[in-house]
């Protein structure tokens, strides 16, 4: 009988390339060779290499190959446009400016080229030039918002601030425009010294979303500078309740409690423009607009090279694009003086682990923890690395250090008890695992992954059958499209001897997660029990080919050779054999 490793289910549940064959070494070659080396590649070869690199989301290689192709065919307008975008995505904005000027000679209405020239002019404090360029980039659902806000920042002074906010107010668009409009109107008025009008816009932005970090930071800072520390602390406390322990909010709260006034979050037109581009770039990255989000974030960093949140958002975007090396290069740029530096170091370590540089990841996290033994995020990260590497006794010890830092467990702490419970269960310390899983449910009743894990474990052991089944059914109600949780329900029915329902649920689980070896193995077992022998062998063969755990592979190969034994004591019989049963 195969025991599906709950770890795999828990870990997964909790947490336009060209169709051509091209050597995987292209990216490495592009980054390691000098630019003149590309002259030896034909323009068509460089173009194909660039297209492939673009499909692999490798901006550095794409920029290098497009640049080489353009040198070989300088009058090719399509190549010019592609080179321009690739160079921007790679953060080479100074070169992007030169290419933007060439692009506009071909198409004077190119929105991104106008945006880039507007940002360059804004950086150089050439505000009339910036407004002229930006005015010509307003022809789209994102560029209209970006250009309007950037233009408004060129008027962040006492004489033009009203004109700036009037232009923002007139902009119509999607519902989500509102928070950007209100926040930046408030910031512009604040910089211009028009506190009464700034207060009105800050209040509106806060009502729109009291959990938006930059809204909370800027509003709390404003209240502090108006001598209203009590209300500022309330704003930060409300955020802390919704999203605990954010380093920027922790720092601001500490400053206020020390009797200090908070500085302006944004104090120049350039910083304000960087804030616009960071906010839109981060939002685009989260909403699936990675390519444009990448350009906006690079432009933000062109204006403010050490902007910690822009750097973290760019790193996060690289991670989403499966580029951990680029993410880590970005995280290394987060200033040592920023409260977010530790967050960047934690993410960097997790990426090292993803790159199979686990010893380096562990050493980095252990160094962070040694410097601050109460750093729960670093402790969790180290535990997660060890858990992912199946060092279960060790990860339980690490999570225990995290638990020791918690004086009064809160709802958000459910996850550390859940993960420690997984490690205890996999280390065959069931009593401790069960206690942690129950504690996790006490903190977060009805949490589907915990319900699934505990209910599955009980049924697989033949104990607490009714309660275990109730838990799994409740988990499925909440996560009906989660193949791992549906598999738990199917396997529970199997263990209880209800083979018809087991087959039904396990077939559904395989539809949801067709490439999971354990789920295919479970379905094979259920097919065998209902007499569908050929289908059972097919599922076992498929499970074998999907690279199961070594201990599971041995059992699958034995079943392929001899099938399942006839003696299948039901879980109910197993229940009777266990002392105390529950």
- CATH number, residue 227: 1.25.40.10
Instruction: Judge whether 103 lies within some domain.
Output: yes
For residue 2, what pLDDT band results from cuts at 50, 70 and 90?
very low
Predicted pLDDT at 41: 59
- The residue behind tokens 């906006």 is 296
Please tell me the predicted confidence (pLDDT) of residue 576.
40
Q: What is the mean pLDDT of residues 533-558?
A: 96
Q: Note whether residue 519 is domain-resident.
A: yes
- The pLDDT of residue 34 is 46
* CB-CB contact of 402 with 373 (8 Å): no
Cα–Cα distances in angstroms (integers) from residue 39 to residues 61, 474, 556, in the given order: 15, 63, 55
**Cβ count near 212 (within 10 Å):** 17
Mean pLDDT for the stretch of residues 508-527: 97
pLDDT at 162: 95
Q: Note down the domain range covering 215.
A: 26-270
Stretch 331-353: mean pLDDT: 97
112 domain residue, yes or no: yes
Mean pLDDT of the chain: 89
Q: Which of these ranges, 291-295, 423-427, 566-570, has the smallest mean pLDDT?
A: 566-570
Q: What is the chain's percent helix, strand, coil content, to nearest 5?
A: 75, 0, 25
Is 291 part of a structural domain of the chain?
no
Choose between 3 and 86: higher pLDDT: 86
Cα atoms in the 13 Å half-sphere on the side-chain side of 34? 2
In residues, how long is the chain? 582
On the question of pLDDT at 3 being above 90, the answer is no
Instruction: Kindly list the distances between the CA atom of residue 49 and the CA atoms of 20, 27, 33, 78, 385, in Å, as whole numbers in the listed order.
Output: 10, 9, 14, 15, 35
The SS3 of residue 76 is coil
Q: What is the pLDDT of residue 181?
A: 97
- Provide the whole-model pTM: 0.83
- Check whether 391 has a pLDDT greater than 60: yes
- Let me know if residue 474 belongs to a domain: yes
User: pLDDT at position 566, please?
Assistant: 82
Q: How many domains does the chain have?
A: 2
**Among the three residues 240, 270, 300, which one is the final residue of a domain in this structure?**
270
| Over residues 483-494, mean pLDDT | 95
pLDDT in tens, 459-476: 989 899 999 999 999 999
Q: Which two tokens stand for residue 460?
A: 């697989």
Task: Assign 446 to helix, strand or coil.
Answer: coil
Tokens 């004489």, located at residue: 159
Please, which pLDDT band fits residue 64 given cuts at 50, 70 and 90?
confident
Q: Is residue 51 predicted with pLDDT exceeding 70?
A: yes
What does the pLDDT average to over 109-117? 94
pLDDT at 288: 79
Q: Give pLDDT tens digits for 78-104.
A: 989 999 999 999 999 999 999 999 999
Give me the pLDDT at residue 32, please: 41
Give percent of the chain with pLDDT exceeding 70.
90
Domain end position, chosen among 246, 270, 294: 270
Residue 93 covered by a domain: yes
Report the 3 state secondary structure along 478-532.
HCCCCHHHHHHHHHHHHHCCCHHHHHHHHHHHHHHCCCCHHHHHHHHHHHHHCCC
Residue pair 302/123 in contact by the 8 Å Cβ criterion: yes
**Residue 439 within any structural domain of the chain:** no
Q: What is the pLDDT of residue 286?
A: 84
Q: Which residue has the higher pLDDT, 577 or 228?
A: 228
Would you place residue 582 in the very low, low, confident or very high pLDDT band (cuts 50, 70, 90)?
very low
Please report the pLDDT score of residue 567 as a whole number: 53
pLDDT, mean of residues 525-534: 96
**pLDDT on residue 61:** 81
Using CA atoms, how far apart are residues 184 and 272, in angstroms rounded to an integer? 8
Task: Let me know if residue 322 belongs to a domain.
Answer: no
Residue 9 pLDDT exceeds 90: no
Where is the domain boundary, 235, 250, 270?
A: 270
């Amino acid at each position: 009988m195969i025991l599906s490793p709950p770890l795999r289910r828990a870990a997964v549940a909790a947490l336009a390339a060209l169709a051509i064959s091209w050597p995987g070494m292209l990216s490495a070659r592009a980054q390691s060779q000098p630019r003149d080396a590309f002259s030896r590649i034909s323009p068509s070869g460089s173009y194909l290499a660039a297209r492939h690199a673009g499909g692999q989301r490798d901006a550095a290689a794409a920029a290098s190959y497009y640049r080489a192709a353009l040198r070989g065919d300088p009058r090719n307008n399509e190549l010019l446009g592609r080179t321009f975008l690739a160079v921007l995505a790679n953060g080479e904005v100074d070169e992007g400016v030169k290419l933007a000027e060439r692009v506009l000679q071909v198409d004077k209405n190119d929105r991104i080229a106008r945006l880039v020239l507007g940002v360059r002019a804004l950086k150089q404090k050439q505000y009339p030039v910036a407004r002229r360029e930006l005015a010509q980039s307003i022809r789209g659902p994102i560029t209209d918002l970006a250009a309007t806000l950037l233009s408004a920042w060129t008027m962040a002074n006492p004489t033009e601030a009203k004109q700036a906010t009037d232009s923002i107010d007139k902009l119509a668009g999607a519902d989500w425009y509102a928070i950007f409009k209100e926040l930046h109107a408030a910031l512009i008025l604040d910089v211009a010294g028009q506190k009464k009008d700034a207060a009105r816009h800050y209040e509106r932005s806060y009502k729109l979303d009291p959990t938006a970090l930059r809204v909370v930071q800027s509003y709390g800072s404003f209240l502090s500078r108006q001598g209203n520390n009590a209300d500022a602390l309330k704003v930060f406390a409300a955020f802390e309740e919704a999203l605990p322990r954010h380093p920027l909010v922790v720092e601001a709260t500490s400053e206020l409690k020390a009797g200090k006034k908070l500085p302006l979050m944004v104090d120049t037109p350039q910083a304000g423009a960087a804030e616009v581009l960071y906010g839109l770039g981060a939002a685009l990255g989260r909403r699936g607009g990675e390519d444009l989000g990448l350009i906006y974030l690079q432009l933000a960093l062109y204006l403010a090279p050490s902007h910690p949140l822009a750097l973290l958002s760019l790193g996060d975007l690289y991670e989403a694009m499966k580029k951990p090396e680029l993410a880590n290069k970005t995280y290394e740029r987060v200033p040592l003086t920023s409260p977010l530096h530790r967050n960047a170091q934690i993410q960097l370590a997790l990426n090292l682990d993803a790159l199979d540089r686990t010893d380096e990841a562990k050493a980095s996290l252990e160094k962070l923890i040694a410097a601050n033994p109460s750093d729960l995020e670093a402790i969790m990260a180290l535990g997660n690395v060890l858990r992912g590497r199946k060092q279960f006794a060790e990860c339980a010890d690490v999570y225990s250090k995290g638990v020791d830092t918690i004086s009064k467990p809160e709802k958000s702490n459910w996850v550390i008890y859940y993960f420690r419970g997984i490690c205890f269960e996999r280390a065959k310390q069931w009593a401790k695992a069960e206690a942690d899983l129950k504690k996790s449910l006490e903190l977060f009743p009805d949490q589907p992954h915990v319900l699934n894990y505990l209910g599955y474990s009980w049924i697989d052991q033949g104990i607490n059958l009714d309660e275990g089944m109730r838990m799994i059914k409740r988990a499925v109600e909440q996560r009906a499209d989660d193949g791992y949780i549906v598999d738990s329900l199917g396997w529970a029915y199997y263990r209880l001897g209800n083979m018809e329902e087991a087959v039904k649920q396990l077939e559904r689980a395989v539809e949801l997660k067709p490439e999971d070896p354990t789920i295919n193995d479970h379905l094979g077992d259920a097919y065998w029990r209902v007499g569908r022998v050929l289908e059972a062998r097919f599922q076992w063969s498929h499970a074998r080919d999907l690279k199961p755990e070594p201990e599971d592979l041995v059992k699958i190969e034995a079943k392929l050779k001899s099938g399942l034994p006839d003696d299948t004591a039901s879980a109910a019989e197993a229940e009777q054999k266990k002392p105390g049963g529950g």
